[in-house]
A and B are shown apart, each in its own frame.
Chain A
Amino acid sequence: MPAEAAFDLAAVPRRQPLLTVEGLSLRLQDNRANIVDDVSFAIGSGETLAIVGESGCGKSVTALALMGLLPRPPIEVVAGRAVFEGEDLLQLPPRQMGEIRGDRISMIFQEPMTSLNPVYRIGDQVAEVVLRHRPVSRAEARGRALEMLERVKIPAAVQRLDEYPHQLSGGMRQRVMIAMALANDPQLLIADEPTTALDVTIQAQILELIRTLQQETGTALMMITHDLGVVAEIADRVAVMYAGRIAEAGPVEAIFDDPQHPYTIGLMSSVPSLGGRSGRLAAIPGMVPTVDALPAGCRFAPRCPFATPACSAAVPALRRLGSGPTSGHFAACIHAPLEASSAEAAS
């Protein structure tokens, strides 16, 4: 294992790593370049890791790989390990993965309607998850379903048990999904844009719910999102992904107060401020490269205002920044810190 691969376990010394991903590389059939390329990170038990990035950065497909839900073909695992409680999730046969999924690791998605079965009652769907993994009776499972609906604060939970998904609002459906996901007390919850389809007042309710439940249960959370606001709201640590690679990673304060990678800075500059108008947005020019045209070297270089020929010569390593082995802040940019290297260039 490369010393710096699991990017900052040192920063959370009191925590046991629950999941350690090392060198994960995924490839889309008939393409030479990896759509997820040498991605490493770890999640400690009880902590929240946010993976943030735009469409096509590889954040969702990474989650699907961990859950054994990759569409293969066309996507194949080229390299890497994902060790969860001593087992490599990437090597598990489908049956064993099925035992873990929904039990020790569960996942919620952006659009709950696609994960809920429209023809079954809500109570039955939540109970089904319990029955699948626990030696309990139907009545006990139904009791657990009711308990879970109450925990996710669904009003009139007893009546809701017998309703169908279409009878609920988007926010309530997402609560049902969370109830299902947490029904078996998983050690890890993977949430893929769980609030993106929701209105802002409902999003705030759901984020608050996730945060409260996480504190109560001690579940670790891997939050996948494109929204820097959501990241700031909920994460302990953050990995910023761009075009299949981690561009920057570290504790949430370091990422927001002291961002180092030009992509992170560009992303933050692209978000209009709630504090007031600040003239034109310093947008990132161009667009994310397509899978069949990924550039050599640093994949952000063609859009980066700091790029030099060296950037396209080699893939930049995810380097530890700051002093001391516990800084836990990493960036994959040969020019970091930018203010120092641009001063050099000027002199």
Chain B
Amino acid sequence: MTGSAPDIILETRDVSRHFGSQAAWFGEKRVVRAVDGVSLAVRRGETLAVVGESGCGKSTLARLLVRLIRPTAGEVLYEGRDIGGLSEREMRGLRRDLQFVFQDPFSSLNPRMTVGTLVEEPLRVHGMGSRAERRRRVDALLQRVGLRPEFADRYPHEFSGGQRQRIGIARALASGPKVVIGDEPVSALDVSIQAQVINLLEDLKDEFKLTLILIAHDLAVIRHMSDRVAVMYLGEIVELAETEELFARPLHPYTQALLRAIPVPTPHRRAAAAGVKGDVPSPLAPPAGCRFHTRCPLATALCSATKPDFADAGGGRFVACHYWQQAAAAAPAPHAEAHRTAAAQRRFALYRDRSEQQERLRTAAAAGPTTT
């Protein structure tokens, strides 16, 4: 986080976004502190995940990063330059570099535009290429995300959820971005389709040398896709670590609770005790001191009085907890793996071999007639 060694592409410095409701009929004006004093540096080429539950501010943070909304306070720097103060005109150039993939692709796609027009739009807006060149690029993009080029003449409603997300991804890639932010890009999809889109995103990230910021609540997806993870709670980042480290040894009691709460797909480790009690407090009135203290099993008087620093825990890890050393000592055991029979393991290996083989055949067949 010092910024000296790693190559930082996008960064927030003490950034906040408060949503004020106009004063109610009675009482004072109420303010939702959706994001409150977040400093986060995204390294070039990494996949950084931001995880948290509803209302933790992760989607607001995502929108701040690409300036879909402006911060109330603090700075957002892209390639070292503060983008908070740029005019919309100046921002337009940057939008080529910073693209967004939404959770619900349908609501983010104009239903009256054909798929081809939708994917072409960013190219047109940025004045990229001639009409014919743009058409060719749209065809190539559609094919790259696994859609047939003739789909360009159809409308979004004709497609399934997974296909719409592929359209959303093609559109995000059209302008040749450097950073793609996915706000729950796979969470609305069925498991088998989700796996396809995860594979696609990973392939595209390598192919287009993207930096990927993944906003998600599904820890298994995050574990699979990301290099580093930032855990958010009530508008603040409470822990930041390399993915492997975070899952092997979570330091913050909230991270530990999240990990304990996931139902694991093996029946041999039952009763994943509810990690924490109670609900997330309202962001209209976040608790004083450490915001997690109302639900934390380790909380003391210190926690309700004093806000913990986001402290360096060594090894590139940061944690905001007065008692993280004690918490770390009581970290939950790493997750139990499946207890598959030897025959079942052979079956899974066979399944993987065969499906990869068939995927290669399909890719070859799809590429065959259209390559020139």
Contact = CB atoms under 8 A, between A and B. Distances in A.
Interface in B313-357: 334-335, 337-341, 343-344, 346-348, 350-352, 354-357
Helix, strand, loop or mixed for chain B's interface?
helix
A131 interface: no
Interface in A255-290: 256-260, 262, 265-278, 280-285, 287-288
Contact of A169 (B221, B279, B350): B279
B198 interface: yes
A263 B199 CA distance: 19
A200 B53 contact: yes
A227 B348 CA distance: 19
Given A205-B274, A226-B190, A282 B352 contact: yes
A36 B252 CA distance: 47
A305 B354 contact: yes
Nearest to A340: B343
A147 interface: no
Interface in B216-243: 217, 219-221, 223-225
Interface stretch (B94-102, B167-175, B257-265): B257-265
Contacts of A267: 191-192
A265 B191 contact: no
A273 B267 CA distance: 15
Contact of B244 (A199, A208, A228, A276): A276
B367 interface: no
Interface string A209-234: 00100000000000000111111110
A273 B262 contact: no
A271 B220 contact: yes
Given A285-B359, A342-B350, A256 B267 contact: yes
A115 B363 CA distance: 46
Contact of B350 (A257, A274, A339): A339
Given A274-B219, A276-B223, A285-B359, A204 B195 contact: no
Given A204-B272, A283-B195, A259 B263 contact: no
B270 interface: yes
Given A271-B191, A339-B350, A285 B355 contact: yes
Contacts of A339: 343, 346-347, 350
A201 B247 CA distance: 16
A81 B52 CA distance: 45
Contact of B199 (A199, A265, A283): A283
B160 interface: yes
Interface in B260-300: 260-268, 270-277, 279-280
Nearest to B220: A272
A252 interface: yes
In order of increasing CB-CB distance, the 8 nearest A-B pairs are A229-B263, A272-B224, A283-B195, A270-B195, A305-B354, A204-B261, A199-B53, A54-B190
Interface of B: 53-54, 160, 162-163, 190-196, 198-199, 202, 217, 219-221, 223-225, 244, 247, 257-258, 260-268, 270-277, 279-280, 334-335, 337-341, 343-344, 346-348, 350-352, 354-359, 362
Interface of A: 54-55, 169-172, 199-205, 207-208, 211, 226-233, 235, 252-253, 256-260, 262, 265-278, 280-285, 287-288, 305-306, 337-339, 342
15 contacts: A54-B191, A201-B275, A204-B261, A204-B262, A227-B263, A229-B262, A253-B268, A259-B344, A269-B351, A269-B352, A274-B335, A275-B337, A283-B192, A287-B193, A339-B350
